[in-house]
Structure 1
Amino acid sequence: METNFDQDVIAAIFKFVWSKKAIDREKIEDGEASKGEERAGTSKKNRPTSANPNAVRLSCELLRLFVTEAVQRAATIAEAEGGTKIEATHLERILPQLL
């Protein structure tokens, strides 16, 4: 059974992260400006950021493959230990390999 990630959800996650990073960047820029430094050419406008639909589709596929690989590796560990369920400890053991 092949399950795909919802592209709208992945795009929303990307937008959330981009917005958070933009806010963090503005805080840093505001802090630098308050020290008396002027930065030429900087704009504090929030411009909408969007992702190319093909990039979102590719990101969904990459995420699906990553999760599938993680589950398969964790299942191998669980099976080697004689278990029939994947537990958090199995995932913790394979994370260094994936990262």
Structure 2
Amino acid sequence: MDDNGAPTFEQDLIRAIFKHIWVKKAQERERNEFPNTEAVDSEVGAGTSKKNRPTSEAVQRAGTIAEAEGSTKIEPTHLERILPQLLLDF
């Protein structure tokens, strides 16, 4: 209690409570934004909005380059190669 008789809490306890709540909210947001990541990965570009169109287009083009090279993963170099073309298209 402080001098006025009001209850006080330790700063570390308050920080721990806030951190716990922030982590839970972040996990909830992540679950809501990406409910089924396997479906998203297998259907890149399916049902995209105008806002996400450049991103899905970049992933598709980089995937084409990676596939042509025989790679199963899209690497930063693949994205770097398609960026100039992508910027000119949009």
TM-score (norm 2): 0.43
Give the number of the structure with larger relative contact order, counting CA–CA contacts within 8 Å between residues 6 or more apart.
1
Which structure has the bigger radius of gyration?
Answer: 2
